[in-house]
């Protein structure tokens, strides 16, 4: 029972995400937003599924996720 008090049950990860930002050709220093998913209203959720043109060979694609508390996580993928 106590675990339920301290551990929230979130059925959809998008409910706690404020925005998703994608840099399709990240240079490692400056994050240039290629695609931004920022819902218009607070009760709306991010899409969570994105399609972009294929980046050039050797490019780095960076994805930044910011949650409702302002915490952010950036992950970089090499092509």
Using CA atoms, how far apart are residues 46 and 19, in angstroms rounded to an integer? Answer: 6
For the chain, how many structural domains are there in total? 1
Question: Domain limits at 72?
Answer: 2-78
Distance from C-alpha of 35 to C-alpha of 51, rounded to nearest angstrom: 10
pLDDT for res 79: 85
Q: Which structure tokens are listed for 71?
A: 């915490």
Higher model confidence: residue 21 or residue 12?
21
What gap in Å lies between CA 59 and CA 66, rounded to an integer? 23
Say whether pLDDT at 3 is over 70: no
Model pLDDT for residues 21-67, shown as the tens digit of each residue: 999 999 999 999 999 999 999 889 999 999 999 888 999 999 999 99
Stated pTM of the model: 0.84
Cβ(17)–Cβ(45) under 8 Å?
yes
User: Which runs of E-coded beta strand occur in 1-79?
Assistant: 17-23, 35-37, 60-67, 72-78
Look at residue 1 in the predicted model and tell me its pLDDT. Answer: 47
CA distance 2 to 6: 7
């Amino acid at each position: 029972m106590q675990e339920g008090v301290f551990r929230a049950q979130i059925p959809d990860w998008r409910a706690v995400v404020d925005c998703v930002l994608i840099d399709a050709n990240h240079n490692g220093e400056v994050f240039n937003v290629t695609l931004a998913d920022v819902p218009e209203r607070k009760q709306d959720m991010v899409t969570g599924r994105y399609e972009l043109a294929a980046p050039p060979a050797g490019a780095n694609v960076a994805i930044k996720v910011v949650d409702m508390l302002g915490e952010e996580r950036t992950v970089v993928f090499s092509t």
